[in-house]
Structure 1
Amino acid sequence: MEQPDDSRSVDAAPSNESRDDDPLIRDVPVPRRCCSARFNLAFLMFLGISVVYGLRVNLSVAMVAMVNASQPAPGLNGSCPLPAGLGNASQKLEQPDGTPQYPWDAETQGWLLGAFFFGYMCTQIPGGYLSGRYGGSRLLGLGVLVTAALTLLTPPAARRGPRWLFALRALEGLAEGVTIPAMMSMWARWAPPLERSQLISLSGNGANFGAFLAMPLTGFLCQALGWPAVFYLCGVAGCLWAVLWFLLVWDDPRAHRRISKEERDYIVAAVGHQGGGHGWSVPVLSMVTSVPLWAIVVTQMCSNWSFYTQLTSLPTYMSNMLHFDLKANGFLSALPYLAAWLTATLTGFVADRLIERRALSVTAVRKLFTLTGMLFPAVFLLALAYAGCSPALTVAFLTLTSATAGTSGSGVFMNQIDIAPRYAGFLLGITNTFGTVPGVVAPIVTGYFTEDHTMEGWRKVFWVSAGVNLSAAVIYTLFGSGEVQPWALPREDEEAREGRTA
């Protein structure tokens, strides 16, 4: 009879020789999860990722208030008819007297919304390398702290002009770029293989939760206090989180001051030598020629296209085309991220359960959740393209798109730690660098398609996103893998493997 989770043991592999595609499994009791050091780390990391994504997305909603004067008149240029009783469009964006507004056109807005990613893509690989070499806790904390401090400068930068704001947002991206690779490097040391999906999902899903929280909160603050208050409050929140992080977090479970001996022994035994940092040199040539790694790179680029399109441009669509007021715009724009957060968190537990029970291999689990996270959103994006001016259908299809996309969180988005645990942070830096390209390009393309504010232009935006998603599904299904790659094994493991196959 199966024992409860708190007393369950991790069974040893059934054969005398462990397979390369098996997780690292040890015959060690599994300590309780509730209030454990590893799940406390996941929760604190979840809060930090929520903060940085809130800092990233707040401009998307605030932009609607910042450029209110430049919005087209309702009912013109192909937008939806103004709902009865709404009155003049200027009423929906009322702010306190004296709040500045700017006449930025759609192209300028697209560049400003994409500016963050110009900096973000530059520090992914250095951040992944340094966190893998030295540990990720300080790098992650500093990334959040500097991003939050720079966010406080947004209102004065906007007053000086779009070029100043573009430069500031690029600097914020430069600081934040180290955070996600540092997170993955930490989990290479902290996450037992049979808990990887749930721990990484719990922490990484701060991205969806941060977007969900920031959008309605930004809309409320813009109308209650004016859009500058958004950046002041978000910046302060990030600084406070960083203080907690530096006080409570350690890079390695062996150095943690408050972890139980039982939990420390479990993590160290389960992770094994794969949890150690890598040296100064990394097998770059082997990485460049690795087909499974390129499958992750291409799939993340394709998936991020639709994600970043929604993250940066959805509030503008809801406001300019469907004429939601700013409060409703923020709340309804946030619903898809709530759905994605719930789905991704749930599938993290399901994925680990499938691997633990050996119902599917790691490769099969990653492909299953990636496939569902690409195909279903493509279908709903095509439906969204023809939802027209129906607010109910628009919100429903957007929510279904994000909810089903959330399943890929247990697929391709944690695949780096499967194929190369020792280099997980460095690989995530590589894949995130490529994956950030859509963050730069998608808002600009969206601005180009929608410069006339027509529904036909937005239809092209959704068609392109759906097509890119379908491409990702095909590529990852053909070339993805969940096996530890030979070039990622420590030298002694590689020699032992060659001896077994000789």
Structure 2
Amino acid sequence: MAEKSEWCRRLGKACMPQRHVLAIMGLLAVVNAYTMRISLSVAIVSMVGNLGRGDGNSSAIIDRDPNSCPYPDIVEGEKTIEGEFDWDTETVGIILGSFYWGYIFTHLPGGILSEKWGGKYLLSVGILSTAIFTLVSPVAARYGGPSWFIAVRVLMGLGEGTTFPALNALLAQWIPVEERGFWGTLVFSGSQVGTIVGNALTGLLIEAWGWESVFYFYGGCAFIWFIVFTLICYSRPDEHPYITEEELEYLNEKLGDTVSKDIPPIPWKSVAMSVPLWGLVVAQIGHDWGFFTLITDLPLYMKDVLHYKVGKNGLVSSLPYIAMWSVSLSSGLLADWLLKKKYLSTTNVRKIFTTVASVLPAVGLLAASYAGCNEIAVVTIFCVFIGFMGAFYPGMKVNALDLSPNYAGLLMAIVNGIGSLSGIVTPYVAGVIAKDHTAEQWRTVFWIVFAVMNLTNLVYVLTATGKVQPWNWGENGKDLNNDQIERGNSKKAIEMETKA
């Protein structure tokens, strides 16, 4: 171990801790995953123009709203935008949601395998396969039609479904409880960074090189990430060839017996009967309903209601996620500070931050839909209120790590997998309700989001806990008392205390 420390010191006066290297690479994994996933939301605006009527004319007239906002820089008359494909709004809704058809199916296998084999290869291979299918997407859309394009999106989802279960398994092995607020948030906030990049850069790529360049660029970036991650990251601290002795001792001390090298068989019955886990599932459904509505439909809203061109659309649609990312990192630091100072319990921190991330964004969506054609007001409301959704990450997003470090990958698979059903439903709902592209129809979409986010948050507040669950150590962990669960001690540690 001394040789590892010496090797590290040769690189400079001090090495970055390997747990931080892992977290940064985890952040980049999520960034790549999301750019490949959501860039279609902007690209499809260019691919199908005004989201045609399905009548063979992809440049359909969209002046159906008598209260329509004015079209900037366009003469009066028919307002059309040419597109290569003639897909109607319902087809577009199906295409936008098809990624999640595959995404939900690999969550559970990914969670189980990440506990058994470690998260490294599940994460890296999943991102690699998503990259490959991203690269072939233009060919599928152009020569195979919507059915082949949908099939490729489903395959992308299958590859990416292991991402969050594998990351959760890695974080459970590498990040101590008092550092999870910031570093866990940093990793998971890659969804915002990826959305920012995916929205802002996609429009510019399309204007410069066409919609196909989007898929080639993001697929290529993910391929480069795969090579770097595979070379420098490992599933467990004791497997890492270059970790310092000091960091390994620190992680052993902080993580202790809450994570086991030989994990007991999965206590399926206890997991299935866990009320806090199912409350977490409900909270994830609510968050995903709001978040997926934003990442798949916000560019469409900007086009339908404010009539933004593709370049401006992508840039403006990215602004709320910049605010969200800032809030997520600052709230992660605040959550860690509250826990270290013991001002709030883990349970209360998770509940409060989740509530902020649910109620305020839901209010903001409604407020923006009633702001009319005032662009400054609409964009400001979106940025301020949707930004608070970032508090979700030190809230319920890291809660699975609290409940069971040993089965963190499995829990993330269950929670994120079921929550991802929202990704299938929300684009289709928006496509059916907002079929005429009017502001009033979009307002109905946002009212549904408001109701779902607030009701699911109420369920979470009534059921959530930040305590390690006794089944973290298998079915035999049931005999732990509440004080032992609160302290996060394993049965082995408790037996040692008793003998002492």
Normalising to structure 2: TM-score of the pair? Answer: 0.89
Task: Tell me if the contact between 1:118 and 1:173 (Cα under 8 Å) persists in the aligned partners.
Answer: yes
Q: How many residues matched? A: 466
**Distance 1:280-1:227 versus aligned 2 partners, 3 A rule:** farther
| Cα distance in 1 between the residues matched to 2:438 and 2:79 | 22
Amino acid at match of 2:281: V
| Cα distance in 2 between the residues matched to 1:278 and 1:476 | 32
Amino acid at match of 1:35: M
Mapped pair 1:177 → 2:161: yes
**Distance 1:257-1:322 versus aligned 2 partners, 3 A rule:** same
**Distance 1:257-1:481 versus aligned 2 partners, 3 A rule:** same
| Cα distance in 2 between the residues matched to 1:424 and 1:67 | 41
**Secondary structure at the counterpart of residue 420 of structure 2:** helix
**Secondary structure at the counterpart of residue 192 of structure 2:** helix
Mapped pair 1:129 → 2:112: yes
Task: Tell me if the contact between 2:471 and 2:477 (Cα under 8 Å) persists in the aligned partners.
Answer: no
Q: Aligned to 1:364, which of 337, 348, 353?
A: 348
Give the C-alpha shift of residue 44 in structure 1: 1.3
Task: Tell me if the contact between 1:278 and 1:422 (Cα under 8 Å) persists in the aligned partners.
Answer: no
Moved more, 243-252 or 395-404: 395-404
| Cα distance in 1 between the residues matched to 2:261 and 2:149 | 38
Give the C-alpha shift of residue 320 in structure 1: 2.2
**Distance 1:383-1:279 versus aligned 2 partners, 3 A rule:** same
Moved more, 451-460 or 58-67: 451-460
Mapped pair 1:118 → 2:101: yes
Give runs of aligned pairs for residues 410-425 of structure 1, distance below 5 A: 410-425=394-409
| Cα distance in 1 between the residues matched to 2:66 and 2:240 | 59
Amino acid at match of 2:32: V
**Distance 1:168-1:89 versus aligned 2 partners, 3 A rule:** farther
Mapped pair 1:35 → 2:21: no
Among the aligned pairs, what percent are the same residue?
Answer: 37
1:342 paired residue number:
326
Mapped pair 1:83 → 2:64: no
**Distance 1:333-1:52 versus aligned 2 partners, 3 A rule:** same
| Cα distance in 2 between the residues matched to 1:263 and 1:104 | 55
Give the C-alpha shift of residue 43 in structure 1: 1.0
1:272 paired residue number:
256
1:465 paired residue number:
449
**Distance 1:57-1:84 versus aligned 2 partners, 3 A rule:** closer
Show CA shifts across 1:197-237 (max 9, x none). Answer: 11111111111001101111110111110000110111111
1:301 paired residue number:
285
| Cα distance in 1 between the residues matched to 2:469 and 2:14 | 30
**Secondary structure at the counterpart of residue 282 of structure 1:** coil
Mapped pair 1:168 → 2:116: no
Mapped pair 1:401 → 2:385: yes
Mapped pair 1:51 → 2:39: no
Task: Tell me if the contact between 1:78 and 1:455 (Cα under 8 Å) persists in the aligned partners.
Answer: no
1:310 paired residue number:
294
**Distance 1:89-1:111 versus aligned 2 partners, 3 A rule:** farther
Mapped pair 1:106 → 2:99: no
| Cα distance in 2 between the residues matched to 1:120 and 1:474 | 27
Task: Tell me if the contact between 1:57 and 1:211 (Cα under 8 Å) persists in the aligned partners.
Answer: yes
| Cα distance in 2 between the residues matched to 1:342 and 1:156 | 37
| Cα distance in 2 between the residues matched to 1:312 and 1:496 | 45
2:44 paired residue number:
63
Amino acid at match of 1:458: W
**Distance 1:442-1:492 versus aligned 2 partners, 3 A rule:** closer
2:126 paired residue number:
143
Task: Tell me if the contact between 1:385 and 1:463 (Cα under 8 Å) persists in the aligned partners.
Answer: no
| Cα distance in 2 between the residues matched to 1:485 and 1:496 | 9
Show CA shifts across 1:315-371 (max 9, x none). Answer: 111112211111110000001111111111111111111111111110011011011
Q: Aligned to 1:432, which of 416, 420, 439?
A: 416
Give runs of aligned pairs for residues 474-489 of structure 1, distance below 5 A: 474-489=458-473
1:97 paired residue number:
none
**Distance 1:130-1:84 versus aligned 2 partners, 3 A rule:** closer
**Secondary structure at the counterpart of residue 352 of structure 2:** helix
| Cα distance in 2 between the residues matched to 1:386 and 1:347 | 29
Amino acid at match of 1:39: H
**Secondary structure at the counterpart of residue 411 of structure 1:** helix
| Cα distance in 2 between the residues matched to 1:197 and 1:154 | 36
**Distance 1:195-1:84 versus aligned 2 partners, 3 A rule:** closer
Give the C-alpha shift of residue 76 in structure 1: 2.9
Task: Tell me if the contact between 1:132 and 1:277 (Cα under 8 Å) persists in the aligned partners.
Answer: no
**Secondary structure at the counterpart of residue 161 of structure 1:** helix
| Cα distance in 1 between the residues matched to 2:65 and 2:44 | 20
**Distance 1:78-1:129 versus aligned 2 partners, 3 A rule:** farther
2:7 paired residue number:
none
Give the C-alpha shift of residue 85 in structure 1: 2.7
Give the C-alpha shift of residue 384 in structure 1: 1.8
**Secondary structure at the counterpart of residue 407 of structure 2:** helix
1:12 paired residue number:
none
